[in-house]
Structure 1
Amino acid sequence: MSPTTMTILISSLATGTIITASSHHWLMAWIGLEMNTLAIIPMISKQHHPRATEAATKYFLTQAAASAMILFASTTNAWQMGTWDITNMMDPAANTLFTMAIAMKLGLAPMHFWLPEVLQGSTIKTALIITTWQKLAPMALIFTTSNNLSTSVLLMMSMISTTLGGWAGLNQTQTRKIMAYSSITHLGWMATITTIMPNILMLYLTLYLLMTTSMFFTLILLNSKNIKDMATSSTTSPTITASAMMTLLSLGGLPPLTGFMPKWLILEELTMQNLTTTATILALSALLSLFFYLRLSYSSTITLPPNTTTTKYKWRFKPTNPITLALTLPASLLLLPITPMMC
C-alpha cells in the first residue's frame, strides 16, 4: 500500500474518532463511526489473500449492522423524546438497542464472534489498531450515555464477556487470537463499571490501551504469531522477551504491576455497591485469563530443554527498539503506586 493511501486511511481513522467523540448529535456520531469502519477495511484486506478478505468482509458486515442499529436506536429515541441529543437517550427500548449495538461494535459477548476471526485474518499492526484505536469512538459514546444505560444489561454482558473470554482463550495457540480474547475480557471489566463509576472506566480504558499497545509492539518486534514463535523469542532479544512476560502478567492483573490497579478499584467499588456476586464472578474469571497469560509467559521465557532451537540468534530478524515501546512499556508495568491518586 502506497504511503499516500496509508496517510489518507489513518487520517480518516483519526477524523472519524474525533467526530464521534466530540459530537452531540446522533447523526454526526454515526458519520464518525462509518468513517472509522470504511477507513479500516482496506487496511485489513491489503494482504490480498482469502483469509484477509474474509476478515474484512466479516468486519464490514458486523460494523455496518451495528451502525444501522445505532441509527435506528437514535431515531426511535428522537421519535419518542423529540431530541437528537446524545445525552438524552431516555427511551428504554432505544437504550437497550443502543447497548446491543455498541456491544457489537466493541466485541462484547455475546456479540463477540467476529473479533478473534478478524484479528487472525489481519496483520499484527492492523490487529493493534482494531484492538486499541477502534475502541475509542464506541467508548466515547458509552461514556457520554453512561447515565442512561441499563446497569443490569451491562452487568450481565460483562459477566458473560469475562467468563467466555477466559474460557475461549485457554485453547488458543495464535497470539492474535489470544489478544482478541484478552480484549473481550477487558471490555467486560469496563462494561461492569460503566454506569457505577465512569471515571474508573476511563482509567481502565487508558491502562488497557497502554498495556495492549506495548504487548502488540513486543509481538511485532519478536515477529511472534503463535506460541511456538514465542518459545524462540529470547534468541531475538532477551530484554524484550523478559518485558513481554511482565506485560502479559500485567494484562492478567497480577500485583504489583499496573494491570492490577483497575481490577482492584472495580472489585472495591462493586463490593461497596453490594454487588458481591458479580465481583466474585469477575475475580474468578480473571484466573482463567491469567492462566493463558502465564502459559504464554512460560513459553517465552523457558531456558531449559526441551528447547525448540539450538541457535543463539534468529538469523532473519534484527531486533529494533522503537520509541513507542520505550514509552508504553514502563507505564504498563510501573503505575500501581499512583493508585491513591485515582480513587
Structure 2
Amino acid sequence: MNPVIFTILLGTVMLGTSIVMTSSHWFMTWLGFEMNMMAIVPILMKKYSPRSMEAATKYFLTQATASMILMLAIVINLMYSGQWTITNMENYTASMLITIALTMKLGLAPFHFWVPEVTQGVPLNSGLILLTWQKIAPLSLLYQTYSSLNTNMLLLMSLASITIGGWGGLNQTQLRKIMAYSSIAHMGWMMMILTYNPNLSLLNLLIYILMTSSMFMLLIFTSTTSTLSLSLTWNKTPIITVSSLITLLSLGGLPPLTGFMPKWMIIQELTKNNSVILPTLMAILALLNLFFYMRLTYSTALTMFPTMNNTKLTWQFQNMNILPMMSPLIMISALILPLTPLFILLN
C-alpha cells in the first residue's frame, strides 16, 4: 500500500475514535464509528489476498449491522426523550439495543464469531490495530453510558465471553486466532467490572493493550503465525523466545507478572460488592486461558525441537523488522505488578 494513503487511512481511524471519545452528541458518535469503520477496511486488506478480502467483508458486515442497531437505538431514545445527549438514556428498549450494538462492535459473546475469523485473515500489523485500537471507541462509549446499560444482560454476556474466550482457544494452532480468543476473554473481564467500577475497567483495557501490543510485536519480529513456526524460533532468536514465554504467561494472568494485576483487582472489587459466585466462576474459567498459554509456552521454550540444517545459519541474516518500542513494552508487560497498591489507591 502507498505510504501516503496508509497514513491518511490511519489518521482517519484515529480521528474517528477521537470523535467517539470526545463527543456528547449521539449523531457525532455514530459518525465517528462510521469514519473509523470505513477507514479500517482498506487497512485490513493491506496485503491483498482472497482471505484478507473475506476477512474485511466479514468485519464490514458485522460493524455495519452494529451501526444500524446503534442508530435504531438512538432514534428510539430521541423519540422518547427528545434529546441527543449521550448520558440521557431513559428508554429500556434503547438501552438494550445500545448494549447489543456496542458489544457486537467489541466482539463479546454471543456476537464473537467474527473476531477469530477476521483476525486470522488479516496481516499481523492489521490484527494488532484490530485487537487494540478498535476496542477503544466502543469501550469509551460504554464507559460514558454504563449507568444506563442493561446490567444483567451485560454480566451474562461477560461470563459467556470469558467462557468462550478460554474454551475456543484450546484447540487452536494459529497464533492470530489464539490472540483473538484471548481478546474475547479479556473483553469479558472488562465488561464484568464496568457496572461496579468503570475506572478499573479502563485500567484493565490499558494493561490489555500493552500486553497484546508487545505479543504482536514479538510475532511480527519473528514473522511467526502458527505454533509450529513459533516452536522453531528457539534456534534463531532465544531471547525473543523467552520474551514471548513471559508475555504469554502475563496475558494468562499468572503471578507475579503484570497480567495478574487486573484479575486480582477485579476479583477483589466484585468480592467487596458481596458477589462471590461470579468471581469464583471467573477465576476457574481463567484457568482455560492459562492452559492454552502454557501449551504455547511448552512448545516454544520448554521443548528442544530438532535443528534442521537450513535454520542453523539464520543468525547471520539481519532481521529487517525493527520495532523500537518492543523492549519497553515487554518490560511493562512483565514487571509492573508491584505498582498494584498505587492503582488500588487511585481507584
Interval containing the TM-score (normalised by the shorter chain): over 0.9
Question: Does 2:293 correspond to 1:293?
Answer: yes
**TM value normalised by structure 1:** 0.97
**Is this contact kept in 2: 1:21–1:137, CA < 8 A?**
yes
| Structure 1 gap segments, 5+ residues each | none
Q: Is the 8 A contact 2:235 2:307 kept in 1?
A: no
Change (3 A) 1:245 1:321: farther
Name the CA distance, whole Å, in 2 between partners of 1:303 and 1:309: 15
Q: After the TM superposition, which residues 130-141 of structure 1 pair with which residues of structure 2 at under 5 Å, given as runs?
A: 130-141=130-141
Check 1:317–1:186 CA distance in 2 against 1; reply closer, same or farther (3 A cut): farther
Where do 1:179-258 residues align within 5 Å? 179-258=179-258
Q: State the Cα deviation string for residues 104-158 of structure 1 (Å, max 9, x = none).
A: 1010000000010001110000000000001111111011111211221111001
* Count of aligned positions: 342
Instruction: List aligned pairs for 1:148-159, cutoff 5 A.
Output: 148-159=148-159
Cross-structure match for 1:322: 323
Corresponding residue of 1:271: 271
The 5-angstrom pairing of residues 1-343 of structure 1 reads 1-304=1-304, 306-307=305-306, 309=308, 311-314=311-314, 318-319=318-319, 322-343=323-344
One-letter amino acid of the counterpart of residue 104, structure 1: M
Contact 1:236 1:317 (8 Å CA) reproduced: no
1:91 Cα deviation after fit: 1.4
SS in 2 for 1:74: helix
Q: Which contiguous aligned blocks of 4+ residues in structure 1 show a shift greater than 4 angstroms? A: none
Tell me, in whole angstroms, the C-alpha distance in 1 between the residues paired with 2:23 and 2:136. Answer: 14
Q: Helix, strand or coil for the counterpart of 2:312?
A: coil
Q: Which moved more, 1:43-52 or 1:171-180?
A: 43-52
CA distance in 1, matches of 2:294, 2:19: 39
Distance of aligned partners of 1:316 and 1:48 in 2 relative to their CA distance in 1, 3 Å threshold: farther
Which whole-Å CA distance do the structure 2 matches of 1:316 and 1:282 have between them? 46
Write the distance in 1 (CA, Å) between the matches of 2:325 and 2:146.
Answer: 32
What letter corresponds to residue 53 of structure 1 in structure 2? M
Matched letter for residue 307 of structure 1: P
Offset, 1:86: 0.7
Structure 2 CA distance, aligned partners of 1:253 and 1:195?
A: 22
Task: Compute the displacement of 1:309 (Å).
Answer: 3.6
CA contact (8 A) 1:158 1:191 kept: yes
Measure how far apart 1:315 and its partner are. Answer: 6.5
8 A contact 1:155–1:278 mirrored in 2: no
- CA distances 1:36-82 after superposition (whole Å, capped 9, x unpaired): 11111111123222111110110000000101111111111111112
Kept in 2, the 8 Å contact 1:232–1:309? The answer is no
RMSD: 1.4
Percent identity over the alignment is: 50
Aligned-partner Cα distance in 2 for 1:107–1:8: 26
Q: Secondary structure at the match of 1:326?
A: helix
How big is each residue's C-alpha offset from its partner over 1:220-247, in whole Å with a ceiling of 9 and x where there is no partner? 0111100001101122311111011000
Offset of residue 321 of structure 1:
5.1
| Amino acid of the structure 1 residue aligned with 2:29 | A
| Corresponding letter in the other structure for 2:328 | L
Report the TM-score when normalising by structure 2.
Answer: 0.96
Structure 2 SS opposite 1:144: helix
